[in-house]
Amino acid sequence: MNNITKFSNAMLLTYTTAIFLFIFLPIAGSVVFSFNSQRFPTIPLGSFSMEWYEGVVDDVDFWDAAKASLTVSLFTSIIATFIGFCTAYTDYRYQFRGKSIFIALALLPPTIPLIIMALAMLAWFARIGISGQIYAIIISHSVLTIPFAMAIIRMRLNEIDPRLEAAAWNLGASEWVAVKSVIIPFCRPAIISALCLTAAISFDEFAVAWFVSGLNKTIPVLILEIVTGNIDPRVNAVGSFVFLVSMTLVVTAQCLIMASRLRKSNGNFK
């Protein structure tokens, strides 16, 4: 019995390590090569160098792309989290005819292949004459990320005692005020993590952005342009930057979700 447990634990550890290596080794490689003085990513490494970072910092294209990416992810996260919250609350609070269809539609976007979505968006934006605008990227990224925001907030709403909202009405809060003073404070950790996660997804997203961005290139689009045609080690530097931003956002989101779980299991509120 004990041996079996030991064996399965060892297997689990090996498996987990393998997965993490599989995911993070290429990224770690990219980070390491971004500080490598040699032009080509080969081993043995050359000396430590900030050359490629300096190259990125001096590049106007990079600053434009960074600005576009940050703007897009900021607005996307706000819009997606707002709509995601509204959808989650609707699902939590109301029963209505066709609700299951409504929820299925709300959760649909991530199941559509990105390239199809990107083409459809481009076709639509071209028709209404806003393709190539920065807000075209914001709109399409919002569509893409709303379901994630909704899922996170809906999970949090599962944990609320439905009597809390009724208790607020009972103490003189109108329905709007109850949402503001009970539902939103209760969901705050989930709302912040939804903001972080949708920002991260938008910041990383390439396919849709590439189709609809036009001249307003985002960073992933810029990376593609750098790597097509020539070998430029600056891409490692840009990649490391993108990885750092995304990971910060995702880890923050994850920590907030875990913290509210933990508080729930420790706390004694029913």
Partner 1 sequence: MTFPLVQFRNVLKKFGSFTAVKNINLDIEAEEFIAIMGPSGCGKTTMLRMLAGLETPSEGEILIDGKVMNNVKPHERDTPLVWQSLALFPFLNVQENVEFGLKMKGIKKKERELKAREWLKRLEINQFSNWDVNKLSGGQQQRVALARALITEPKILLLDEPLSALDAHLVVRMQQVLTKLQREIGITFIYVTHSQSEAFAMADRVVIMGNGEISQTGVPRDIYRAPANRFVAEFIGRNNILSGNISSIKNEIALVSTSAGKLKIKNHRGATVGQNVTFVISADLVKLCNQYNDNRNNIACRLISEEFIGSVVTLFLESKDGTEFKVQIQERELVDINFRGDNELIISWEIHNAHLLPELET
Binding interface with partner 1 (CB under 8 A): 161, 163-164, 166-175, 177-178, 181-182, 185-186, 188, 267-270
Taking the complex as a whole, the smallest distance from the CB of residue 187 to partner 1 amounts, in Å, to 10
97 versus 270: smaller Cβ distance to partner 1: 270
83 versus 178: smaller Cβ distance to partner 1: 178
108 versus 184: smaller Cβ distance to partner 1: 184
Taking the complex as a whole, the smallest distance from the CB of residue 175 to partner 1 amounts, in Å, to 8
Exposed/middle/buried for residue 103 (C-beta within 10 Å: 0-12, 13-18, 19+): middle
Taking the complex as a whole, the smallest distance from the CB of residue 133 to partner 1 amounts, in Å, to 40
Taking the complex as a whole, the smallest distance from the CB of residue 186 to partner 1 amounts, in Å, to 6
157 versus 238: smaller Cβ distance to partner 1: 157
Taking the complex as a whole, the smallest distance from the CB of residue 259 to partner 1 amounts, in Å, to 13
61 versus 175: smaller Cβ distance to partner 1: 175
